[in-house]
Copies of this chain bind each other. A is one copy, B any other.
Amino acid sequence: MAFRDHLERICGEVEGSVACSVIGFDGIAIDTYESRAEGFDIPTLLVEYTTILNQVRAAASVLQSGQVRELVISTDKLTAMSRPLTPDYFVVLALSPDSNWGKARYMLRVTAPTLQREF
């Protein structure tokens, strides 16, 4: 399977999904699946999210609090949550703000090992 198939499966399982991407900490996406992304500028969202995630990694280093496991940013229009896959890449899921966080976190957690094997 390609990355795209796994990303599509995550979006299919999590109600309210908008888009899902495997992306580098340099902000360059390997692949992105957009399921309901009308009205959202997903490429800009991914760049902004990656910038913040890098700032979070830097802060975690300052605080000696270990590796970043998850980052969730929820705004009025969109929630974005991520999980690291390798030292260089992570998976991020954008979904509507009132979606089921538990299901989204679960799908990212169980799909992460499969995505890691694609590298």
- Interfacial residues, chain A to chain B (CB-CB below 8 A): 41, 44-45, 48-49, 51-52, 55-56, 59-60, 62-78, 97, 101-102, 105
How many copies of this chain? 2
* Cβ-defined partner of A72 (8 Å) among B48, B60, B72: B72
> What 5 A-B pairs are tightest by C-beta distance, nearest first?
A66-B76, A72-B72, A48-B59, A70-B74, A65-B75
Mostly, the A contact residues are mixed
Find chain B residues with CB under 8 A from A76 CB. 65-67, 69
Given contacts A52-B52, A52-B56, contact A69 B75 (CB under 8 A): yes
Interface residue from B59, B64, B68, B78 paired with A51 (Cβ < 8 Å): B59
Q: What's the Cα separation between A52 and B48 when bound, in Å?
A: 12
